[in-house]
Amino acid sequence: MNQAGVSGPGGNIYDLGYQSYGGPRLGRRAASGALFRTALRACYGIGRGGRAKIVPIALGVLVLLPAIVAIGISALAAQAPGGGGAFLEEASPVRFSTYQGLILILVMLFAAAQGPELFGRDQRYGVLPLYFSRVLTRTDYALAKTGGLWVALLLLMLVPQLLLLIGRIFVAPDPLTGFQREIGTVPQFLAQSVLAAGLLGSLTALVASNTPRRAYATAIIIALFIIPPMVVGLIGNLVGQDPARLLVLFSPGDILDGTNAWIYGSIPDSPIVASLDLPGPVYLAAAVVGITGATVLTVRRYLTIRV
């Protein structure tokens, strides 16, 4: 609806050829998908300047290191004569069951660094009205961003484990036996990584969306992973097992330790978790409750935020 080329006695309006868009519009799903992709890219600093890539690249390299080291050890083991090879294999601290324990702190640092940027920036610069006045609903916004963070963390955990898988397949005497030997681990590390990404991601999203100031959000997320295990350890040692059993379900780090142990049938890394001896499905339930609860609260935050 524009006035084109109107002229009258006192003045003229000129037709600049300005037209409104009348073509097809991609609806909500496309918008959510675009926001999700942007969030995922932002986590890895793609499409941003060099400084935004430092943390993702540094942490990305660090999470790959154990896998590379393990492949190296496996390769040596395969070439070593006789029983020495098998011994070397067994002694390697890097396996799928221990992988999470090794890299969880790195993944947590990644979430603590990138999450606040993802959720806090839009709030700090006041651009939320620009998002909310589009087809995208507030829920879509919250879920798309959280989803982007989830997938970013999932990739961070899966890529090295896939690398480990491939390495072990090819290090075996022939790829086929290697494949058959290792294939069982795929659903295991997939499941654990999904749980870890989900729990880390939704808790980070919850904290970051409620704390626009980046430094505070980072500090709180790190504290959320470091303090509870200490508290659980103290309570377990000083008070007793029962209160510790209750408290451990509020400690994200310990929950993931528990699910890891259950999935792989191994002993948990943390001595206190091992001594508490809760059945695996309890940790799984706690993780699921944590993920859904945190996500619901994140959505609620964006539903009620005043822009």
Partner 1 sequence: MNVFGPLVSVTLRGVLGRRRLLLMLLLVALPVAIGLLVRLAGGRPDAGVILDNLVVRMVLPLVALVLGTAALGSEIDDGTVVYLLVKPIARRWIILATALVASGVTAVLVVPSAVLTGLLTAGIGSASLTTTFAFAVACLLGGIAYSSAFLALSTVTSRALVIGLVYTLIWEGIVAGLLEGTRFLSIRQATLGVAAALGGKRPGSEPLEPAISFVILAVVTVGALVIATRQLARFEVRGGD
Judged by the rule CB under 8 A, the positions of this chain that interact with partner 1 are 215-216, 218-220, 222-223, 226-227, 230-231, 234-235, 238-240, 243
Q: How far is the CB of 287 from partner 1 (least distance, A)?
A: 24
Minimal distance in Å, beta carbon 112 to partner 1?
9
User: Which lies closer to partner 1 via its Cβ, residue 237 or residue 292?
Assistant: 237
CB 105 to partner 1: min, Å: 10
User: Least distance (Å) from partner 1 to the CB of residue 126?
Assistant: 15
Cβ closest to partner 1, residue 45 vs residue 236: 236
Beta carbon nearer to partner 1, 77 or 247: 247
State the DSSP code for 13: E
Helix (H) or strand (E) holding 135: none
Q: How far is the CB of 93 from partner 1 (least distance, A)?
A: 19
Q: Residue 199: how many CB atoms within 10 A of its CB?
A: 24
Q: How far is the CB of 154 from partner 1 (least distance, A)?
A: 25
Compute the C-alpha angle 285/287/289, nearest 5°. Answer: 70
In the structure encoding, which two tokens stand for residue 125, read together? 């610069």
Other C-beta atoms lying within 10 Å of the C-beta of residue 291: 21
CB closer to partner 1, 30 vs 226: 226
Least distance CB 190 / partner 1 (angstroms):
31
Query: Amino acid identity of 36?
Result: F
In DSSP terms, 7 is beta-bridged to 12
Sign of the four-CA dihedral 192, 194, 197, 198: negative
Which residues, listed in sequence order, are joined to residue 73 by a DSSP beta bridge? none
Give the Cα separation of 210 and 91 in Å (integer): 45
Q: Strand, coil or helix: what is 2?
A: coil
CB closer to partner 1 out of 222 and 288 = 222
Question: 20 phi and psi, to 5 degrees?
Answer: -85, 155
Choice between 15 and 242, CB closer to partner 1: 242
Give strand pairing partners of 55.
none
Cβ–Cβ < 8 Å for 115, 221:
yes
Q: Which residue, 34 or 226, is less far from partner 1 as judged by CB?
A: 226
By CB neighbour count within 10 A (0-12 exposed, 13-18 middle, 19+ buried), where does 17 fall?
exposed
Question: How many other C-beta atoms are found inside a 10 Å radius of the C-beta of residue 129?
Answer: 9
C-beta of 229 vs 290, nearer to partner 1: 229
Nearest distance from C-beta of residue 239 to partner 1, angstroms: 4
Question: Residue 41: in which H helix or E strand, if any?
Answer: helix 28-43
